[in-house]
Structure 1
Amino acid sequence: MPARTSLATAMRTITATTIITGMTTTTTEAAGEADRRAALLRLLTWLSPAFPVGAFGWSHGLEAAIAEGRLSDAASVRGWIAALVTRGSGWNDLVLFAVAYRCAAARDEAGLAEVGELALALAGSAERRAETAALGEAFAAAAAPWSETDAAPYPLAVARVAAANGVLLGDALVAFAHAFAANLLSVAVRLVPLGQSQAVAVSRELEPALLAAARQAEAASLDDLGQAALWSDIAAMRHETLQPRLFRS
Protein backbone atom coordinates (compact mmCIF):
# COMPACT_ATOMS: atom_id res chain seq x y z
CA MET A 1 0.00 0.00 0.00
CA PRO A 2 2.74 2.53 0.83
CA ALA A 3 4.37 1.73 -2.53
CA ARG A 4 1.10 2.50 -4.35
CA THR A 5 0.81 5.77 -2.42
CA SER A 6 4.34 6.79 -3.38
CA LEU A 7 3.66 5.98 -7.03
CA ALA A 8 0.46 8.06 -7.01
CA THR A 9 2.26 10.94 -5.36
CA ALA A 10 5.05 10.75 -7.90
CA MET A 11 2.56 10.77 -10.78
CA ARG A 12 0.80 13.82 -9.38
CA THR A 13 4.16 15.57 -8.99
CA ILE A 14 5.13 14.79 -12.57
CA THR A 15 1.77 15.99 -13.85
CA ALA A 16 1.95 19.21 -11.86
CA THR A 17 5.52 19.84 -13.02
CA THR A 18 4.51 19.27 -16.63
CA ILE A 19 1.61 21.71 -16.32
CA ILE A 20 3.76 24.35 -14.64
CA THR A 21 6.55 23.91 -17.22
CA GLY A 22 4.03 24.19 -20.03
CA MET A 23 2.57 27.33 -18.53
CA THR A 24 6.05 28.81 -18.11
CA THR A 25 6.94 28.04 -21.73
CA THR A 26 3.67 29.54 -22.95
CA THR A 27 4.21 32.65 -20.82
CA THR A 28 7.77 33.03 -22.12
CA GLU A 29 6.62 32.67 -25.72
CA ALA A 30 3.86 35.21 -25.17
CA ALA A 31 6.34 37.66 -23.66
CA GLY A 32 8.70 37.16 -26.60
CA GLU A 33 5.88 37.77 -29.08
CA ALA A 34 4.87 40.92 -27.19
CA ASP A 35 8.48 42.16 -27.36
CA ARG A 36 8.64 41.52 -31.10
CA ARG A 37 5.41 43.39 -31.67
CA ALA A 38 6.65 46.31 -29.57
CA ALA A 39 9.86 46.38 -31.62
CA LEU A 40 7.82 46.39 -34.86
CA LEU A 41 5.70 49.25 -33.56
CA ARG A 42 8.83 51.27 -32.77
CA LEU A 43 10.28 50.67 -36.23
CA LEU A 44 7.03 51.79 -37.84
CA THR A 45 7.13 54.95 -35.76
CA TRP A 46 10.81 55.82 -36.23
CA LEU A 47 10.86 55.27 -39.99
CA SER A 48 7.42 56.64 -40.77
CA PRO A 49 7.25 59.68 -43.08
CA ALA A 50 5.50 61.42 -40.17
CA PHE A 51 8.51 61.05 -37.84
CA PRO A 52 10.00 64.55 -37.57
CA VAL A 53 13.38 64.17 -39.24
CA GLY A 54 12.60 66.21 -42.36
CA ALA A 55 13.51 63.47 -44.87
CA PHE A 56 10.88 64.84 -47.28
CA GLY A 57 13.10 67.89 -47.86
CA TRP A 58 16.02 65.89 -49.28
CA SER A 59 16.12 64.16 -52.67
CA HIS A 60 19.60 62.57 -52.48
CA GLY A 61 20.44 64.09 -55.86
CA LEU A 62 17.32 62.68 -57.50
CA GLU A 63 16.00 66.16 -58.31
CA ALA A 64 19.04 66.91 -60.48
CA ALA A 65 18.78 63.55 -62.26
CA ILE A 66 15.13 64.22 -63.06
CA ALA A 67 15.91 67.75 -64.25
CA GLU A 68 18.55 66.32 -66.62
CA GLY A 69 16.04 63.85 -68.06
CA ARG A 70 17.71 60.72 -66.69
CA LEU A 71 14.54 59.68 -64.88
CA SER A 72 11.33 60.06 -66.83
CA ASP A 73 9.16 57.04 -66.06
CA ALA A 74 8.48 54.30 -63.55
CA ALA A 75 11.06 51.90 -65.00
CA SER A 76 13.94 54.36 -64.81
CA VAL A 77 13.00 55.38 -61.27
CA ARG A 78 12.84 51.74 -60.18
CA GLY A 79 16.24 51.00 -61.70
CA TRP A 80 17.82 54.08 -60.12
CA ILE A 81 16.59 53.28 -56.61
CA ALA A 82 17.45 49.58 -56.91
CA ALA A 83 20.99 50.48 -58.00
CA LEU A 84 21.43 52.77 -55.01
CA VAL A 85 20.26 50.11 -52.56
CA THR A 86 22.29 47.24 -54.02
CA ARG A 87 25.49 48.97 -55.15
CA GLY A 88 25.30 52.66 -54.28
CA SER A 89 24.96 55.00 -51.35
CA GLY A 90 21.96 53.08 -50.02
CA TRP A 91 24.06 49.92 -49.79
CA ASN A 92 26.81 51.77 -47.91
CA ASP A 93 24.25 53.13 -45.47
CA LEU A 94 22.98 49.61 -44.80
CA VAL A 95 26.50 48.34 -44.12
CA LEU A 96 27.22 51.30 -41.84
CA PHE A 97 23.92 50.63 -40.08
CA ALA A 98 24.75 46.98 -39.46
CA VAL A 99 28.26 47.68 -38.15
CA ALA A 100 27.03 50.55 -35.96
CA TYR A 101 24.25 48.36 -34.54
CA ARG A 102 26.75 45.71 -33.49
CA CYS A 103 29.05 48.32 -31.97
CA ALA A 104 26.15 49.85 -30.06
CA ALA A 105 25.02 46.45 -28.79
CA ALA A 106 28.57 45.79 -27.58
CA ARG A 107 28.92 49.30 -26.13
CA ASP A 108 31.92 49.87 -28.38
CA GLU A 109 32.12 53.67 -28.47
CA ALA A 110 35.47 53.68 -30.27
CA GLY A 111 34.00 51.50 -33.00
CA LEU A 112 30.99 53.79 -33.32
CA ALA A 113 33.26 56.80 -33.67
CA GLU A 114 35.16 55.08 -36.48
CA VAL A 115 31.94 54.21 -38.30
CA GLY A 116 30.71 57.79 -37.89
CA GLU A 117 33.84 59.18 -39.50
CA LEU A 118 33.48 56.75 -42.39
CA ALA A 119 29.84 57.70 -42.89
CA LEU A 120 30.76 61.35 -43.35
CA ALA A 121 33.79 60.55 -45.51
CA LEU A 122 31.68 58.37 -47.82
CA ALA A 123 29.23 61.20 -48.51
CA GLY A 124 30.22 62.06 -52.07
CA SER A 125 29.15 65.70 -52.05
CA ALA A 126 28.60 68.58 -49.66
CA GLU A 127 24.83 68.17 -49.85
CA ARG A 128 24.92 64.46 -49.13
CA ARG A 129 27.15 65.10 -46.14
CA ALA A 130 24.69 67.73 -44.93
CA GLU A 131 21.80 65.33 -45.57
CA THR A 132 23.09 62.44 -43.46
CA ALA A 133 24.23 64.80 -40.69
CA ALA A 134 20.96 66.76 -40.54
CA LEU A 135 18.75 63.67 -40.65
CA GLY A 136 20.85 62.00 -37.97
CA GLU A 137 20.69 65.02 -35.70
CA ALA A 138 16.93 65.34 -36.15
CA PHE A 139 16.42 61.62 -35.56
CA ALA A 140 18.46 61.62 -32.35
CA ALA A 141 16.38 64.50 -31.01
CA ALA A 142 13.04 63.00 -32.03
CA ALA A 143 13.91 59.53 -30.69
CA ALA A 144 14.89 60.82 -27.25
CA PRO A 145 11.75 59.34 -25.59
CA TRP A 146 13.05 55.86 -26.51
CA SER A 147 16.78 56.36 -26.04
CA GLU A 148 19.04 59.29 -25.28
CA THR A 149 21.79 59.34 -27.92
CA ASP A 150 24.21 61.80 -29.42
CA ALA A 151 23.74 63.16 -32.93
CA ALA A 152 25.39 61.00 -35.59
CA PRO A 153 25.07 60.36 -39.33
CA TYR A 154 21.58 59.09 -40.05
CA PRO A 155 22.19 55.31 -40.36
CA LEU A 156 24.20 55.35 -37.14
CA ALA A 157 21.58 57.35 -35.26
CA VAL A 158 18.83 54.88 -36.18
CA ALA A 159 21.05 51.85 -35.53
CA ARG A 160 21.97 53.02 -32.03
CA VAL A 161 18.37 53.56 -31.00
CA ALA A 162 17.31 50.25 -32.55
CA ALA A 163 20.00 48.35 -30.66
CA ALA A 164 19.10 50.08 -27.39
CA ASN A 165 15.46 49.07 -27.77
CA GLY A 166 15.89 45.40 -28.59
CA VAL A 167 14.97 45.66 -32.26
CA LEU A 168 16.41 42.78 -34.27
CA LEU A 169 19.14 43.85 -36.70
CA GLY A 170 17.58 42.10 -39.70
CA ASP A 171 14.21 43.75 -39.13
CA ALA A 172 15.82 47.15 -38.63
CA LEU A 173 17.78 46.85 -41.89
CA VAL A 174 14.67 45.93 -43.89
CA ALA A 175 12.80 48.89 -42.41
CA PHE A 176 15.68 51.28 -43.06
CA ALA A 177 16.06 50.12 -46.67
CA HIS A 178 12.33 50.53 -47.21
CA ALA A 179 12.32 54.04 -45.74
CA PHE A 180 15.28 55.04 -47.96
CA ALA A 181 13.53 53.79 -51.09
CA ALA A 182 10.13 55.18 -50.12
CA ASN A 183 11.50 58.68 -49.63
CA LEU A 184 13.15 58.69 -53.06
CA LEU A 185 9.99 57.30 -54.60
CA SER A 186 8.00 60.15 -53.06
CA VAL A 187 10.40 62.60 -54.74
CA ALA A 188 9.76 60.92 -58.09
CA VAL A 189 5.99 61.09 -57.56
CA ARG A 190 6.26 64.85 -57.25
CA LEU A 191 8.88 65.61 -59.88
CA VAL A 192 8.80 63.03 -62.73
CA PRO A 193 5.83 62.99 -62.07
CA LEU A 194 4.62 59.47 -61.33
CA GLY A 195 1.00 58.58 -60.66
CA GLN A 196 0.14 56.97 -57.34
CA SER A 197 -0.64 53.63 -58.98
CA GLN A 198 2.72 53.66 -60.76
CA ALA A 199 4.51 54.46 -57.51
CA VAL A 200 2.77 51.59 -55.73
CA ALA A 201 3.82 49.23 -58.52
CA VAL A 202 7.43 50.41 -58.27
CA SER A 203 7.33 49.90 -54.51
CA ARG A 204 6.19 46.31 -55.03
CA GLU A 205 8.84 45.67 -57.69
CA LEU A 206 11.58 46.97 -55.39
CA GLU A 207 10.82 44.44 -52.65
CA PRO A 208 13.29 41.74 -53.82
CA ALA A 209 16.15 44.24 -54.07
CA LEU A 210 15.42 45.72 -50.65
CA LEU A 211 15.16 42.33 -48.97
CA ALA A 212 18.32 41.03 -50.63
CA ALA A 213 20.35 44.11 -49.72
CA ALA A 214 19.16 44.00 -46.10
CA ARG A 215 19.97 40.30 -45.84
CA GLN A 216 23.47 40.76 -47.24
CA ALA A 217 24.16 43.82 -45.08
CA GLU A 218 23.21 41.94 -41.91
CA ALA A 219 26.42 39.91 -42.13
CA ALA A 220 28.55 42.66 -43.71
CA SER A 221 31.62 44.37 -42.29
CA LEU A 222 33.38 47.61 -43.14
CA ASP A 223 35.31 45.64 -45.79
CA ASP A 224 32.05 45.38 -47.75
CA LEU A 225 31.70 49.14 -48.17
CA GLY A 226 31.88 50.42 -51.72
CA GLN A 227 29.66 51.68 -54.49
CA ALA A 228 29.40 51.95 -58.24
CA ALA A 229 26.43 54.29 -58.75
CA LEU A 230 28.46 57.09 -60.32
CA TRP A 231 25.60 58.89 -62.05
CA SER A 232 23.88 59.29 -58.72
CA ASP A 233 27.02 60.82 -57.20
CA ILE A 234 27.37 63.19 -60.15
CA ALA A 235 23.72 64.19 -59.90
CA ALA A 236 24.20 64.93 -56.19
CA MET A 237 27.11 67.23 -57.01
CA ARG A 238 25.25 68.99 -59.81
CA HIS A 239 22.29 69.60 -57.55
CA GLU A 240 24.39 72.08 -55.57
CA THR A 241 24.04 74.60 -58.40
CA LEU A 242 20.63 73.52 -59.74
CA GLN A 243 18.13 76.35 -60.14
CA PRO A 244 15.25 76.38 -59.52
CA ARG A 245 14.97 73.52 -57.07
CA LEU A 246 12.60 72.22 -54.39
CA PHE A 247 14.92 70.00 -52.32
CA ARG A 248 17.97 70.56 -50.19
CA SER A 249 19.97 67.80 -51.87
Structure 2
Amino acid sequence: MLMITSKPPPIDDPGGLDQTEAAALYRLMTWLSPAFPVGAFSYSSGIEWAVEAGDIADATSLYDWLAAMLSCGSGFCDGVFLAATHRGAAAGDKSALREITELAAAFVPSRERALETTSQGRAFIDIARAAWNCDRLGPLIAACDGAIVYPVAVGIVSAAHAIPLAPTMHAFLHALVSNWISAGARLIPLGQTDSQRVLAALEPVVAATAQRALNASLDDLGSATFRADLAGLRHETQYTRLFRS
Protein backbone atom coordinates (compact mmCIF):
# COMPACT_ATOMS: atom_id res chain seq x y z
CA MET A 1 0.00 0.00 0.00
CA LEU A 2 1.32 3.43 -0.92
CA MET A 3 1.69 5.78 2.02
CA ILE A 4 3.04 9.33 2.20
CA THR A 5 5.87 9.65 4.69
CA SER A 6 7.08 13.22 4.31
CA LYS A 7 5.89 15.85 6.78
CA PRO A 8 4.45 19.18 5.60
CA PRO A 9 6.67 22.20 6.22
CA PRO A 10 5.91 24.34 9.28
CA ILE A 11 3.80 27.44 8.80
CA ASP A 12 6.04 30.45 9.37
CA ASP A 13 3.45 33.16 8.77
CA PRO A 14 -0.11 32.47 9.98
CA GLY A 15 -1.36 35.75 8.52
CA GLY A 16 -3.53 36.17 5.47
CA LEU A 17 -2.54 36.83 1.87
CA ASP A 18 -2.25 40.34 0.53
CA GLN A 19 -4.33 41.32 -2.51
CA THR A 20 -1.62 40.48 -5.06
CA GLU A 21 -0.89 37.07 -3.52
CA ALA A 22 -4.58 36.24 -3.29
CA ALA A 23 -5.12 37.14 -6.96
CA ALA A 24 -2.15 35.01 -8.02
CA LEU A 25 -3.39 32.04 -6.01
CA TYR A 26 -6.92 32.41 -7.37
CA ARG A 27 -5.69 32.45 -10.96
CA LEU A 28 -3.34 29.50 -10.54
CA MET A 29 -6.09 27.44 -8.90
CA THR A 30 -8.42 28.32 -11.78
CA TRP A 31 -6.04 27.87 -14.71
CA LEU A 32 -4.58 24.58 -13.47
CA SER A 33 -7.80 23.09 -12.16
CA PRO A 34 -9.13 19.91 -13.84
CA ALA A 35 -12.23 21.99 -14.64
CA PHE A 36 -10.29 24.50 -16.76
CA PRO A 37 -11.38 23.61 -20.31
CA VAL A 38 -8.13 22.69 -22.05
CA GLY A 39 -9.33 19.15 -22.77
CA ALA A 40 -6.73 17.44 -20.57
CA PHE A 41 -9.22 14.73 -19.61
CA SER A 42 -9.11 13.33 -23.15
CA TYR A 43 -5.37 12.57 -23.11
CA SER A 44 -3.48 9.85 -21.23
CA SER A 45 0.12 10.49 -22.41
CA GLY A 46 0.47 6.86 -23.43
CA ILE A 47 -0.88 5.46 -20.15
CA GLU A 48 -3.75 3.78 -22.02
CA TRP A 49 -1.33 1.58 -23.96
CA ALA A 50 0.74 0.89 -20.82
CA VAL A 51 -2.38 -0.42 -19.07
CA GLU A 52 -3.31 -2.63 -22.02
CA ALA A 53 0.26 -3.96 -22.24
CA GLY A 54 0.24 -4.82 -18.53
CA ASP A 55 2.93 -2.36 -17.49
CA ILE A 56 0.41 -0.59 -15.24
CA ALA A 57 -1.98 -2.83 -13.35
CA ASP A 58 -2.50 -1.33 -9.89
CA ALA A 59 -1.74 1.68 -7.70
CA THR A 60 1.89 0.68 -7.10
CA SER A 61 2.76 0.20 -10.78
CA LEU A 62 0.92 3.44 -11.64
CA TYR A 63 3.02 5.27 -9.06
CA ASP A 64 6.25 3.79 -10.44
CA TRP A 65 5.33 4.74 -14.02
CA LEU A 66 4.30 8.29 -13.13
CA ALA A 67 7.30 8.91 -10.89
CA ALA A 68 9.56 8.02 -13.81
CA MET A 69 7.59 10.15 -16.28
CA LEU A 70 7.71 13.06 -13.89
CA SER A 71 11.34 12.98 -12.80
CA CYS A 72 13.05 11.49 -15.87
CA GLY A 73 10.67 12.21 -18.74
CA SER A 74 8.12 14.66 -20.04
CA GLY A 75 7.29 16.09 -16.61
CA PHE A 76 10.79 17.42 -16.01
CA CYS A 77 11.18 18.62 -19.61
CA ASP A 78 7.87 20.47 -19.50
CA GLY A 79 8.98 22.09 -16.24
CA VAL A 80 12.20 23.31 -17.85
CA PHE A 81 10.29 24.78 -20.78
CA LEU A 82 7.82 26.48 -18.43
CA ALA A 83 10.65 28.05 -16.40
CA ALA A 84 12.55 29.25 -19.48
CA THR A 85 9.39 30.70 -20.98
CA HIS A 86 8.36 32.47 -17.78
CA ARG A 87 11.78 34.07 -17.42
CA GLY A 88 11.89 35.10 -21.08
CA ALA A 89 8.39 36.56 -20.93
CA ALA A 90 9.06 38.40 -17.66
CA ALA A 91 12.15 39.97 -19.25
CA GLY A 92 10.31 40.77 -22.49
CA ASP A 93 12.91 38.79 -24.46
CA LYS A 94 11.06 38.13 -27.71
CA SER A 95 13.99 36.39 -29.35
CA ALA A 96 14.26 33.93 -26.47
CA LEU A 97 10.53 33.27 -26.54
CA ARG A 98 10.65 32.44 -30.24
CA GLU A 99 13.53 30.01 -29.75
CA ILE A 100 11.95 28.33 -26.71
CA THR A 101 8.64 27.93 -28.52
CA GLU A 102 10.31 26.29 -31.51
CA LEU A 103 12.43 23.94 -29.38
CA ALA A 104 9.53 22.90 -27.15
CA ALA A 105 7.34 22.05 -30.14
CA ALA A 106 10.16 19.97 -31.64
CA PHE A 107 10.89 18.14 -28.39
CA VAL A 108 7.82 15.87 -28.34
CA PRO A 109 8.53 12.23 -29.28
CA SER A 110 5.32 11.25 -31.11
CA ARG A 111 2.53 12.60 -33.28
CA GLU A 112 -0.13 12.07 -30.60
CA ARG A 113 2.01 13.70 -27.93
CA ALA A 114 2.42 16.70 -30.24
CA LEU A 115 -1.37 16.83 -30.70
CA GLU A 116 -1.86 16.64 -26.94
CA THR A 117 0.49 19.42 -25.92
CA THR A 118 -0.25 21.82 -28.80
CA SER A 119 -4.02 21.40 -28.45
CA GLN A 120 -3.88 22.11 -24.74
CA GLY A 121 -1.51 25.01 -25.30
CA ARG A 122 -3.79 26.56 -27.90
CA ALA A 123 -6.86 26.10 -25.69
CA PHE A 124 -5.06 27.58 -22.67
CA ILE A 125 -4.02 30.66 -24.65
CA ASP A 126 -7.45 31.14 -26.22
CA ILE A 127 -9.29 30.92 -22.90
CA ALA A 128 -6.76 33.17 -21.16
CA ARG A 129 -7.19 35.83 -23.84
CA ALA A 130 -10.97 35.56 -23.71
CA ALA A 131 -11.43 35.58 -19.93
CA TRP A 132 -8.14 36.67 -18.37
CA ASN A 133 -6.64 39.09 -20.87
CA CYS A 134 -4.07 41.71 -19.91
CA ASP A 135 -1.98 44.28 -21.77
CA ARG A 136 1.21 42.18 -21.85
CA LEU A 137 -0.37 38.95 -23.06
CA GLY A 138 -0.94 39.76 -26.73
CA PRO A 139 2.63 40.92 -27.52
CA LEU A 140 4.13 37.92 -25.71
CA ILE A 141 1.98 35.48 -27.67
CA ALA A 142 2.83 37.21 -30.93
CA ALA A 143 6.55 36.95 -30.13
CA CYS A 144 6.34 33.13 -30.04
CA ASP A 145 5.58 33.01 -33.77
CA GLY A 146 4.57 29.34 -33.93
CA ALA A 147 2.65 26.50 -32.31
CA ILE A 148 2.61 27.01 -28.54
CA VAL A 149 2.83 23.86 -26.44
CA TYR A 150 1.11 23.61 -23.07
CA PRO A 151 4.02 24.42 -20.67
CA VAL A 152 5.03 27.38 -22.84
CA ALA A 153 1.45 28.65 -22.77
CA VAL A 154 1.34 28.42 -18.97
CA GLY A 155 4.69 30.19 -18.71
CA ILE A 156 3.55 33.05 -20.95
CA VAL A 157 0.21 33.62 -19.25
CA SER A 158 1.55 33.40 -15.70
CA ALA A 159 4.42 35.79 -16.48
CA ALA A 160 2.05 38.22 -18.22
CA HIS A 161 0.00 38.33 -15.02
CA ALA A 162 3.17 38.73 -12.88
CA ILE A 163 2.55 35.45 -11.05
CA PRO A 164 5.82 34.18 -9.53
CA LEU A 165 7.53 31.27 -11.23
CA ALA A 166 7.95 28.91 -8.26
CA PRO A 167 4.25 28.53 -7.34
CA THR A 168 3.39 28.34 -11.04
CA MET A 169 5.82 25.45 -11.45
CA HIS A 170 4.44 23.51 -8.50
CA ALA A 171 0.84 24.07 -9.57
CA PHE A 172 1.61 23.02 -13.15
CA LEU A 173 3.31 19.77 -12.15
CA HIS A 174 0.53 19.00 -9.66
CA ALA A 175 -2.04 19.46 -12.44
CA LEU A 176 -0.01 17.28 -14.79
CA VAL A 177 0.25 14.44 -12.27
CA SER A 178 -3.41 14.76 -11.31
CA ASN A 179 -4.46 14.31 -14.94
CA TRP A 180 -2.22 11.26 -15.35
CA ILE A 181 -3.71 9.71 -12.22
CA SER A 182 -7.22 10.47 -13.45
CA ALA A 183 -6.46 8.61 -16.69
CA GLY A 184 -4.97 5.68 -14.81
CA ALA A 185 -7.93 5.55 -12.42
CA ARG A 186 -10.34 5.19 -15.31
CA LEU A 187 -8.24 2.64 -17.19
CA ILE A 188 -7.00 0.22 -14.50
CA PRO A 189 -9.49 1.04 -12.84
CA LEU A 190 -8.65 2.51 -9.42
CA GLY A 191 -10.94 3.73 -6.69
CA GLN A 192 -10.84 7.29 -5.41
CA THR A 193 -8.94 6.37 -2.24
CA ASP A 194 -6.17 4.55 -4.12
CA SER A 195 -5.95 7.46 -6.56
CA GLN A 196 -5.41 9.85 -3.67
CA ARG A 197 -2.77 7.54 -2.19
CA VAL A 198 -0.86 7.73 -5.47
CA LEU A 199 -1.17 11.52 -5.56
CA ALA A 200 0.00 11.78 -1.94
CA ALA A 201 2.96 9.47 -2.56
CA LEU A 202 4.01 11.56 -5.55
CA GLU A 203 4.17 14.80 -3.52
CA PRO A 204 7.94 14.59 -2.82
CA VAL A 205 8.60 13.63 -6.45
CA VAL A 206 6.67 16.67 -7.65
CA ALA A 207 8.55 18.92 -5.22
CA ALA A 208 11.95 17.54 -6.22
CA THR A 209 11.17 17.75 -9.94
CA ALA A 210 9.94 21.32 -9.56
CA GLN A 211 13.15 22.31 -7.82
CA ARG A 212 15.30 20.64 -10.48
CA ALA A 213 13.37 22.33 -13.26
CA LEU A 214 13.65 25.73 -11.58
CA ASN A 215 17.42 25.32 -11.34
CA ALA A 216 17.88 23.89 -14.84
CA SER A 217 18.61 25.51 -18.18
CA LEU A 218 17.63 24.41 -21.67
CA ASP A 219 20.99 22.63 -21.85
CA ASP A 220 19.77 20.27 -19.11
CA LEU A 221 16.83 18.99 -21.15
CA GLY A 222 16.74 15.24 -21.57
CA SER A 223 14.50 12.22 -21.16
CA ALA A 224 15.19 8.58 -20.26
CA THR A 225 11.66 7.17 -20.21
CA PHE A 226 11.92 5.08 -23.37
CA ARG A 227 9.06 2.74 -22.46
CA ALA A 228 6.72 5.69 -21.92
CA ASP A 229 7.81 7.18 -25.28
CA LEU A 230 7.11 3.83 -26.96
CA ALA A 231 3.71 3.73 -25.23
CA GLY A 232 2.87 7.06 -26.83
CA LEU A 233 3.93 5.78 -30.25
CA ARG A 234 2.09 2.47 -29.94
CA HIS A 235 -1.08 4.17 -28.78
CA GLU A 236 -1.41 5.63 -32.28
CA THR A 237 -2.30 2.17 -33.62
CA GLN A 238 -4.00 0.76 -30.52
CA TYR A 239 -7.19 -1.03 -31.57
CA THR A 240 -9.55 0.14 -28.82
CA ARG A 241 -8.98 3.58 -27.35
CA LEU A 242 -10.72 5.86 -24.86
CA PHE A 243 -8.10 8.62 -25.02
CA ARG A 244 -6.56 10.67 -27.81
CA SER A 245 -2.99 9.91 -26.71
TM-score of the alignment, normalized to the shorter chain, above 0.5: yes
State the Cα distance separating 1:216 from its structure 2 match: 1.5
Q: Which runs of 5+ in 1 are unaligned?
A: 1-29
Partner of 2:194: 198
Within the alignment, does 1:165 sit opposite 2:161 as a pair?
A: yes
Instruction: Spell out the pairing of 1:112-191 with structure 2 (5 A cutoff).
Output: 112-144=97-129, 145-147=131-133, 148-149=137-138, 150=141, 152-191=148-187
CA-to-aligned-CA distance 1:17-70 (integer Å, 9 cap, x gap)? xxxxxxxxxxxxx99722111101100000011111000001111101111110
| Separation (CA, whole Å) in 2 of partners of 1:207 and 1:75 | 15
| Separation (CA, whole Å) in 1 of partners of 2:132 and 2:215 | 26
State the Cα distance separating 1:211 from its structure 2 match: 0.7
| Separation (CA, whole Å) in 1 of partners of 2:186 and 2:161 | 35
Partner of 1:3: none
How many aligned positions are there?
A: 220
| Separation (CA, whole Å) in 1 of partners of 2:193 and 2:16 | 39
State the Cα distance separating 1:152 from its structure 2 match: 1.1
Partner of 2:9: none
Identity score, percent = 46
Which protein has the bigger helix share? 1
State the Cα distance separating 1:146 from its structure 2 match: 2.1
| Separation (CA, whole Å) in 2 of partners of 1:162 and 1:32 | 18
Within the alignment, does 1:59 sit opposite 2:33 as a pair?
A: no
Amino acid at match of 2:67: A
Higher RCO, 1 vs 2 (CA within 8 Å, ≥6 residues apart): 2
Q: Which runs of 5+ in 2 are unaligned?
A: 1-14, 142-146
Within the alignment, does 1:220 sit opposite 2:216 as a pair?
A: yes
Q: Is the 8 A contact 2:48 2:241 kept in 1?
A: yes
Amino acid at match of 1:75: T
Partner of 1:97: 82
Partner of 1:87: 72
Normalising by structure 2, report the TM-score.
0.87
Instruction: Spell out the pairing of 1:42-53 with structure 2 (5 A cutoff).
Output: 42-53=27-38
